[in-house]
Chain A
Amino acid sequence: MSDVLEVQGLSVSYGSHRVLDEVSLRAAPGEIVGVIGETGSGKTTLARAIVGLAPTVSGQIQVDDVEVTGLSGRARRAHRRSGAVHYVFQDPLRSLDPDLTVGEIVREPLAIAARLPRQEQQDRVLGALHRVGLPADLVDRVPAEISGGQRQRVSIARAVVGDPRLLICDEPVSALDASNRNHVLRLIDELRRDLSMAILLISHDLSSLAGIADRVVVLYRGRVVEDGPIAQVFNEPRHPYTALLIASAPSVRREHRLLPAQLRTLTPVRVSGGCVFADRCRFADADCDVQPALEPVAPGRSVSCHHHSTWRESLTAEHLSGRAS
């Protein structure tokens, strides 16, 4: 099956500031692709670029074989209104109109995308609420009258009511506690299975991807530093930044094989023009003055690091000689 989303060499700049640099990724129907990165990594800009809300410098974005970057004016508006791509934001309280009822909020995209008889709209709204596990009697409430977990479900109901091909979820569970987080993640998992939509799940938090994402793309300062099947990437990271992310994530098992301190540099230095991670990387050397390309290292896996096959060895040697702090 062909991919729903295909991003090739996408670069985005705000003024002279390059926010995304040569980013490529793809997502197939029924696939959840996790995008992970910290504040300023460009993950939200990536999402905005895909819906045509960010100034693209170069590269292609294809949604269902439609080139999005070239669209302008009327064509772009038509693409947005077609409902092929839908977006779920982090903070449902701020992304839902406080004056509209739940029913009106969920109906809005239908009214924009298609001219449907009123009764059918109503049926689809109730169907979408049912799908996200909300009772039908919520339709007359306003967002302030329902709980945080329910609000995020309303955002998701609004996003899926028009059967989008691609769903972009930008930090959908960051504002929720662990139990509610898993409820919403399970719901997202059901949506990709039942509606076979492609889902881009953006997060700064590794645990928001656990158990449901198929592949992960690791962004650092606007560049993809590693991508591949999530279990492979997180169990055996090839990029020092991915390793640092995993070592830093708190865990109830205190299970880390590597400590964050072993992966942090002792002497941060600014490198300009070289590898984006060099100034925080413990393993950076003269080679890293040149930006490494994202290269395949195994089937379905790519890494952008000159030392992807050697940094672990130097870590062990350092560790054995007792220099690791």
Chain B
Amino acid sequence: MSRALLEVKDLRVSVGAGTGSRPGEGGIEAVHGVSFSVGRGETVGLVGESGSGKTLACRSILGVLAPGCRIDSGAISFDGSDLLGLDRQGWDGVRGTRVAGVFQDPASYLDPSLTVGHQLSEQLRVKLGRGRREAHAEAVDLFAAMGLHRPDRVYHQYPHELSGGMVQRVLIAMAVSCDPELLIADEATTALDVTIQAEVLELLKKLQAERGLSILAVSHDLATIAELCDRVLVFYAGELVEAGTTEQVLQAPSHPYTEALLRVASVGNWERRELEVIPGNPPPVGTQHLGCGFADRCAFAVDRCRDRSIELIERAGRSVRCVRADDVALSGVRLIA
């Protein structure tokens, strides 16, 4: 296989660092050395609870960490070149043109006082040097390709005149307008109605197939990731605990946390029953733990889960961070093709 498009190596990110007179000082580590890659044309899903570090990881890739967050060490390479060493001008050549993002609250990424068409064609003119007329025509075509009805009319509408699903389609149009190689979708369908969510997921799959786009999708909902992605990365407490193809992870999870996530995910069973829960809470962000961060919530935990640091074991194309991966029997779901 050729070199991966995106390669993240041993990424460590801290939060809560000083922003005022002591910029970048202090803080606690929230992402503890995460490594993963995304191949060309591949759709990879990051799944985990709030605070698991999945959003910090993908914001690091886009170079848009919030103030107070800091990358301590590690490397992020995109198409062979290092992203972490980029200056502002360097980022201009990557962000928006080669790597783009869509997020949970699309309306907050648009200027409410400009029409959505204006905002898209402005991007086409600045980033691709299109002329006014050309940009207008291209924007209308892009809106049509995103499945927006009457794109010529949508062009002249303001964000508040559009529904949540339409605004997200506009944002996806802006994200793919410069034909990026990688699209990062952070909870991009979480706030949408189910029928619209299904349409947006279909749109992402279509873009992936037609443009050969790679997608890194982030969600707390395993079901959404399962619908969209070829490969799944499970995050827990700032660490990668399991990775594998979607089929492997769903049918035969090898980390107890993944199994727990599957049990609480929606499985289309409508009969009255006692709902499954994961006991306890994830450790607070930034907790340093020797051993497994999930041990206190895990039904299979033994002494050796707590008294040594646990490595990610790679084997047969998948990886798992669990000392008991070989001797506990976990159950997955039966996929119905």
**A positions within 8 Å CB-CB of B:** 38-39, 147-149, 177-179, 181-183, 185-186, 189, 204-207, 209-212, 214, 230-231, 234-235, 244-255, 260-261, 268
Q: How far is the CA of A261 from the CA of B147 in the complex (A)?
A: 13
B41 close to A (CB within 8 Å): no
Do A260 and B195 have beta carbons less than 8 Å apart? yes
Do B268 and A178 have beta carbons less than 8 Å apart? no
Do A182 and B264 have beta carbons less than 8 Å apart? yes
Q: How far is the CA of A20 from the CA of B314 in the complex (A)?
A: 56
Do B194 and A249 have beta carbons less than 8 Å apart? yes
- 29 residue pairs from A and B, CB less than 8 Å apart: A39-B163, A148-B50, A177-B50, A178-B221, A179-B49, A179-B261, A179-B278, A182-B275, A182-B277, A204-B194, A210-B266, A210-B270, A211-B270, A234-B268, A235-B270, A244-B195, A245-B194, A249-B223, A250-B197, A250-B224, A250-B266, A251-B223, A251-B227, A251-B266, A252-B222, A252-B265, A254-B335, A255-B335, A260-B198
Given the known A-B contacts A179-B49, A248-B194, A253-B334, are A261 and B202 also in contact in the complex, defined by CB atoms under 8 Å?
yes
B267 close to A (CB within 8 Å): yes
Residue among B221, B261, B270, B336 making CB contact with A255, cutoff 8 Å: B336
Q: 8 tightest A-B contacts by CB?
A: A207-B266, A248-B198, A38-B193, A250-B223, A179-B278, A231-B270, A255-B336, A182-B275
A75 → B minimal CB distance (Å): 38
Residue among A39, A148, A186, A260 making CB contact with B164, cutoff 8 Å: A39
Could you tell me the dominant secondary structure of chain A's interface residues?
A: helix
Q: How far is the CA of A181 from the CA of B275 in the complex (A)?
A: 10
Do B198 and A178 have beta carbons less than 8 Å apart? no
B215 → A minimal CB distance (Å): 15
| Among B222, B223, B274, residue most surrounded by chain A Cβ atoms (within 10 Å) | B223
Could you tell me the dominant secondary structure of chain B's interface residues?
A: loop
| Among A149, A185, A211, A253, residue most surrounded by chain B Cβ atoms (within 10 Å) | A253
B153 close to A (CB within 8 Å): no
B337 close to A (CB within 8 Å): yes
Do A211 and B271 have beta carbons less than 8 Å apart? yes
- Given A179-B261, A210-B270, 18 additional A-B pairs, CB 8 A: A149-B281, A177-B49, A182-B264, A182-B277, A185-B275, A205-B194, A211-B270, A211-B274, A214-B272, A248-B194, A249-B223, A250-B223, A251-B267, A252-B265, A252-B267, A253-B268, A254-B336, A268-B149
Do A251 and B278 have beta carbons less than 8 Å apart? no
Residues on the A chain within 8 Å of B260, using CB: 179
Residues on the B chain within 8 Å of A248, using CB: 194-195, 197-199
Q: How far is the CA of A184 from the CA of B337 in the complex (A)?
A: 32
| Among B197, B226, B266, B334, residue most surrounded by chain A Cβ atoms (within 10 Å) | B266
A261 → B minimal CB distance (Å): 7
Q: How far is the CA of A185 from the CA of B273 in the complex (A)?
A: 11
Q: How far is the CA of A175 from the CA of B134 in the complex (A)?
A: 42
User: Interface extent on B, as a size class?
Assistant: 35 or more
Do B265 and A178 have beta carbons less than 8 Å apart? yes
Do B194 and A38 have beta carbons less than 8 Å apart? yes
Do A231 and B194 have beta carbons less than 8 Å apart? no
B62 close to A (CB within 8 Å): no
Do A250 and B226 have beta carbons less than 8 Å apart? yes
Do A39 and B271 have beta carbons less than 8 Å apart? no
Do A178 and B220 have beta carbons less than 8 Å apart? yes
Q: How far is the CA of A250 from the CA of B226 in the complex (A)?
A: 8
Q: How far is the CA of A235 from the CA of B269 in the complex (A)?
A: 9
B24 → A minimal CB distance (Å): 26
B137 close to A (CB within 8 Å): no
Do B277 and A250 have beta carbons less than 8 Å apart? no
Q: How far is the CA of A248 from the CA of B314 in the complex (A)?
A: 35
Residues on the A chain within 8 Å of B334, using CB: 253
